Each structure stands twice: as C-alpha cells, then as structure tokens.
Amino acid sequence: MRYHHVGIPTSLPREGEIYLAAHKTYVQGFSDSPYGVEWLRFEPGASTPELVQKVPHVAFEVDDLDAAIAGQEVLIAPNSPSAGVRVAFIVHNGAPIEFLEFDDPNHPDRHPER
C-alpha cells in the first residue's frame, strides 16, 4: 500500500472544480496538490454514501484491489471511474478508506513520488 491522497468533503465551491455529472460531485485539488489533497463537494441526490460525503477519507494505491478489500466491510464496490483505474472503499474504525489499482505504471493519476 502506498499513500495516494486524502479526500476532504466541503460545502464551499472552490476555484478549478471539475464536475463529475455521473456522481453529482465536484472535485478539486488532487492534480495540483503536492500532498494529494482532494476537495469533494456533493450535490443533493449524489449517490455517494453519506459516510464519504461527511467524513474525510484517505486513499492508498494498491497492486491488487481485490486482495486489499478481501474480508473488509465494503462501502463502495470495485468500479472503474476512468480508464485504467479501479477503485473501492471500505470502512475501517468508522472511517472511509479508498483503494486504487492502476493497470499502467505511467497512468497520469499515479503519483509515484509520494
């Protein structure tokens, strides 16, 4: 497991937000932050679980997503939000944890320097 980012829910619009229509969610900061800080703002009716909408999450890059979530309380089942990446969320001690698996070591969302 390698640290990837921290996702922080917010209700305030932020400059440079990107809208993800399928999720009714705005995201900002991940690609610009040297520390992997991602801001998340959710529209009413967003399908993302309330725990992710209300509680910050930490995300880790893993080599095997299925192995990382085996035996865990799965909050968001494995899915592919964009080409070349699979993600899933679990609940650990009441907090959401995200795992990301990339199929290409040069994928633009990977940050090997972190």
C-beta of residue 36 within 8 angstroms of C-beta of residue 2: no
User: pTM for this one?
Assistant: 0.90
Say if CB 75 and CB 35 are below 8 A apart: no
CATH superfamily of 2-102: 2,3-Dihydroxybiphenyl 1,2-Dioxygenase, domain 1 (3.10.180.10)
How do residues 91-112 score in pLDDT, each as one tens digit? Answer: 999 999 999 999 988 888 886 5
- Assign 114 a pLDDT band (cuts: 50, 70, 90): very low
pLDDT tens figures, 22-42? 889 999 987 788 888 999 999
User: Cβ contacts of residue 1 below 8 Å, gap of 6+?
Assistant: 60, 61, 62, 68, 99
How many CB atoms within 10 Å of residue 56? 15
How many other C-beta atoms are found inside a 10 Å radius of the C-beta of residue 46? 17
Q: How wide is the angle at C-alpha 58 spanned by C-alphas 52 and 59, nearest 5°?
A: 100
